[in-house]
Amino acid sequence: MIRCDSCVSDLMEDSSTNHELNAHIDVPENWIPHIGMEFDSVDDAWIFWLNYGGKIGFNVRKHWENKSKKDGLVTSRRFLCAKEGYRGLDKRDNLTKNPRAERRTGCKVRLGISLDKTTGTYRVHDFVSEHNHVLHSQETSHLLSSQRKITEVQAIEIELADDFGIQPRAAHEFIGAHVGGTPNLGYTRRDHKNYLRSKRQRDMMYGEAGSLLRYFHSQTMENPSFQYSVQLDCEEKITNYFGQMQK
């Protein structure tokens, strides 16, 4: 269903069920997409959709894009609610004791843009606004996966705490204490740990550990009988290396 909403009341009027699901929404008119809206680039359109999801209270994700075979320029793009569609059948489900819960609901909310070759801008040609699931409140929507972000200042704080040997759990709580609690940080403890994991992988790639791992890898390429292993601690830091030539 193509939408051309220009205000919050239009966005909410189509069904009483949808109104109940989204009754807490209160966003300015200029935050709501509408047919004919223009963006200077695909990235600008994505940022708008990302912010819209945060204001309304739903996760967003990217869908397909079409590119010109002539110059590689994106000619059309679609963005979705993260609950669009359903997860594909996993053949391992019948062997899993605790299968993952289905998080998708077949939500139809989407935003479609296409390139206007005359102006070089991207114009909204398709917008569906009605969700079929409960939305997050504005108090918690900043913790949606698409909205969470570690700022540069927070990244420095995380790295300093790690350098001083502070455990991620304690560091996350300590940093959160300065902003009135961890829910106000804008990222979760898992994001904290993932950031440290990515940093260590980068450090390993370019540091002494990375050089040693590349040496071990080259040895296995030259001699298949050479084997090595790396021992990590609970914080995924390297504690020991072991390499040997099999007889």
DSSP 23: T
Yes or no: say if 47 and 86 are a contact pair by the CB < 8 Å rule: no
Q: Which parts of the chain sit beneath pLDDT 50? A: 1-24
Yes or no: say if 102 and 88 are a contact pair by the CB < 8 Å rule: no
Specify the pLDDT at position 125. Answer: 96
Rg (CA), the chain: 24
HSE (side-chain half, CA atoms, 13 Å) at 37: 24
Q: What is the tens place of the pLDDT at every residue in 153-203?
A: 888 999 898 888 889 899 999 898 888 888 888 888 888 988 888 887 776
Return the SS3 of 201: helix
Residues 6+ apart with CB under 8 A from 175: 154, 157, 158, 161, 185
Specify the pLDDT at position 219. Answer: 72
Specify the pLDDT at position 124. Answer: 96
